[in-house]
Structures are given as structure tokens and as C-alpha cells.
Chains A and B, each alone.
Chain A
């Protein structure tokens, strides 16, 4: 009788131990996952900010794939969120550019006018044009322009 009781007690104890172990493991995993996420986010921010400031744009080109790959955003949400990330970063960078006195004011007005009109029509065209063709054209132009700027 006594031995049986003892065995039962031990079984119970070991089960309890296992449960505790499980809870502890889970807690640890969750914590490290959260910390990992934080580190990824901060690193992404540094990278996007630096590129966006140094190159005066193009933060979105990096931010969208980063969000998709490391934080597992879906495509549309990644696009929208990346704009809301880049907006404050560009604002700060724009201040630095303006105060350094490197921007001619008259062309600024004309180009901005064109960009706003083009942006609206681009958003509308997006539904009509095939995405793959547009991105191939875009990539080719980028490569040619890049070569031209380097050489």
C-alpha cells in the first residue's frame, strides 16, 4: 500500500515537473521571439533611414521587402505601412536638405506638380497595366540609369 502510494506520488510529481518545464520553456521562447522582433525592427529602421536620407528616396524599395520577409507582412499592408514609416523619415531628411540650402526653389514647384499629377494617374493605371511588364521596364531603366551615373 505504502509503496503504491509512493509511486503515485512520484508520478504526480514528475508530471508536475514536466508541466512546469513546458510553461517555463514557452515563456522563454515568447520572450526571445519578442526581443528578436524588436531587434529586427530597430535594425530595419536604421537601414531604411540611412538609405532614405543618403539617397534622397528609395526607402520604400528596401522597406517593403524587409517588412515582407522579416516581419511577415502581406504585400498590400507592407506597402501601406512602409509609406507611413518613410513619411516621417523623409520629412526629417527634407528639413536637413532645405537647411543646407542645396535645393533650387522654382524647379521644386514644377517637379512637385508633375509628381502629384503622375502619382494620381499611376494609382489609377495600376489596375489596368500588367504588373510584371511594368516592373521589368522599371528594372531595365534603373540599370541603364545606374550605369550612366556610375560611368
Chain B
């Protein structure tokens, strides 16, 4: 499955369920209760940030089309399969030079000191391979996080945060209802 993560900031209530789902998904065990006891503690790739006027939005890697992090990495530790795929970090070649952290124009890449890993949203690439929606999308209770599946009829430009879309619930591979389709760009 391929697509784009779309965030409808007007729907975000700041519950941080996406953060928990992301951390659990990227934990060693993949289980919430076991993840709580893991060392180092699992880290979420999405962060709900609060603005100044009762505004909250989940912030994560925006998977730039011409990603500076991919271009700058001297070891090709950050790469993507093709132009529409998320940027994936590979542990082995990475030297932790932090160039990717420095060049990200949105400040969405970090080096987690405790686990000594680069932390960035990979759109749950391992789930996408199984045709399953990203964990944050499935977990979001208000539909603020959508996954715009490629070829599902959405118009160009929906990577923008404030796009207005119709919400069409769908089931993921595990049979759970998730926010899946962004079908109309008004």
C-alpha cells in the first residue's frame, strides 16, 4: 500500500493517542504493557504540539518529495524505494553524524540519545507492506489523521496539512475501522 499521511488539524483534540500508538508500534515487543517496561523506552515518531491559541496538531516527518535528509546522508542510511514511498532510516550504515537532523527544514528528525537511534516517521512502512494502515491513523479517535491511499481518487496537493477532505472509514488488514481515504479536495 502506498499513500500520504494527511492531517486534519481542525479535528485534533490533542489526546496523544497517536503518540502512544506510534511508540508501541516501534517498540521491541509491539505490545503496550511490555513496551512500558522496555529499556530504552520506545519513542514516538509523531508528536502532538500545542500552539498558542487552543491549537493542537500532530507533527511528524512530512516525507518531502526532494528530501534534504536523503540527499545529505553520506552513508545512504536514509533512503526511499521510490518517489512515493516514505523515507526509511537504516540502522546499519548510519554513523549518527546528525546531518539529517540538522538539515530537516521542519525539525522532524531527531537522534534519540537513549537508544542511539534516529527517530523519524516512516509511515509504519512495515505495516504498509502488509496493506495495513499506519498505527497512528488506526489509533486516532477523531479522524484527524488520515491515510490518503495512492490511486484512491484524491487530488494532488493533499500533503498540505489544512486540506479539507471527506472522511470515508475503511477497514485495515486486521479488520479494524480506520481513517483511510481522502476523497475530495475542496
Tell me whether A and B are bound partners: no
- Chain B interface (Cβ within 8 Å of chain A)? none
